[in-house]
Amino acid sequence: MAKKVAVVTGANKGIGLAIVQGLCKAGYAGDIILTARNEKLGQETLQKLKSEGFNNVLFHRFDICDQTSAEELRKFLEKNYGGLDVLINNAGIAFKVDATEPFGEQAEVTMRTNFWGTLWASKALLPLLRPNARVVNISSFVSKRALDKCSPELQAKFRSADISEEELCGLMGEFVVAAQNGNHEAKGWPNTAYGATKVTPNTAYGITKVGVTVLSRIQARVLAQTRAADGILLNACCPGWVRTDMAGPKAPKSPEEGAETPVYLAMLPPGATAPHGQLVWDKTVQEW
Ligand code: NDP
């Protein structure tokens, strides 16, 4: 039988690193590929893990915004494992709250990584999924808050049970263009987040994560239609508010605690039928 393999993106630090450690501690029976866009940072983290006794971890470079790098990872997995059993799309970015870049630029840059990068990683790697594979897309509770602030028309589109990937990509593009033109609010997109009184980076971040949550719903639906007998489960999740370089030191959860829900979803046992296509937070399915 082929050796099992799990891939975690953006795993040189923060929640991604804690997910790698969490999978090891949960007894993941296979290799865990710690990926990072920066070779040096990835290798350093790998060496630290090895010195702590995490021996079934390997490193492979992967920049989710670089389709060549996605192709290289796909070939590596195909050659060495013949498939993929767990994919955790964790890599993501957020501008700091006091960022001075224009809002349109924040929207475009954040969208490129969080939505398009996750989509490209999925397009390269989902075809490798073996029966009983688990996919976890790290979204955020901020996606739900951003959704609730969209116009009723946009909310209906994002909640639609049959929205296509093409429509979703179109909507993400429309948001970026509207943010660049400064008319996003008039077009039904939120202008504020977290009760802020002016536009902040969280506004753009929230919409990119709407994209990740809705993409997960679409991917799960397609898997259910095309690979119904294979028992694959794919979900979006929120790790909670976690102390990392992204969220800062005031967040209540440790990275280890933030990794709990992603690891739980990745380790759902063979034969489990749910959750699938959900947004999960604290191991609990959330209403979208
Ligand atoms: P960190 O900033 O600590 O880590 C983000 C990781 O993503 C880093 O390893 C970073 O690499 C990597 N990354 C960024 N861009 C790319 C790319 N193009 N290709 C590959 N890797 C990339 O953030 P967190 O650990 O807090 O966040 C992890 C995930 O959790 C993100 O998706 C985030 O949106 C989500 N999240 C976080 C919350 C929190 O409270 N912390 C709350 C809700 C969701 P590098 O070191 O090279 O920059």
pTM of whole model > 0.85? yes
pLDDT of res. 49: 98
pLDDT of res. 89: 99
* Atom 10, ligand 1: residue with shortest CA distance: 10
Kindly give the distance from the C-alpha atom of residue 90 to the centroid of ligand 1, in angstroms, as a whole number: 6
Which atom of ligand 1 lies at the shortest distance from residue 209's CA? 34
List active site positions: 194
pLDDT of res. 192: 75
pLDDT of res. 202: 75
Kindly give the distance from the C-alpha atom of residue 10 to the centroid of ligand 1, in angstroms, as a whole number: 6
Kindly give the distance from the C-alpha atom of residue 94 to the centroid of ligand 1, in angstroms, as a whole number: 8
Q: Which residues line ligand 1 (CB under 6 A)?
A: 9-10, 12-16, 36-38, 41, 63-65, 90-93, 113, 117, 138, 140, 238-239, 241-242, 244-247, 251
**3-state SS track over the chain:** CCCCEEEECCCCCHHHHHHHHHHHHCCCCCEEEEEECCHHHHHHHHHHHHHCCCCCEEEEECCCCCHHHHHHHHHHHHHHHCCEEEEEECCCCCCCCCCCCCHHHHHHHHHHHHHHHHHHHHHHHHHHEEEEEEEEEECCHHHHHHHHCCCHHHHHHHHCCCCCHHHHHHHHHHHHHHHHHCCCCCCCCCCCCCCCCCCCHHHHHHHHHHHHHHHHHHHHHHHHHHCHHHCCEEEEEECCCECCCCCCCCCCECHHHHCHHHHHHHCCCCCCCCCCCCEEECCEEECC
How would you write the pLDDT of the chain (288 residues) with one tens digit per residue?
Answer: 789 999 999 999 999 999 999 999 999 999 999 999 999 999 999 999 999 999 999 999 999 999 999 999 999 999 999 999 999 999 999 999 889 999 999 999 999 999 999 999 999 999 999 999 999 999 999 999 999 999 999 999 999 999 999 999 999 999 999 999 999 999 999 987 655 566 666 789 999 999 999 999 999 999 999 999 999 999 999 999 999 999 999 999 999 999 999 999 999 999 999 999 999 999 999 999
Which atom of ligand 1 lies at the shortest distance from residue 62's CA? 20
Kindly give the distance from the C-alpha atom of residue 246 to the centroid of ligand 1, in angstroms, as a whole number: 7
* Atom 20, ligand 1: residue with shortest CA distance: 63
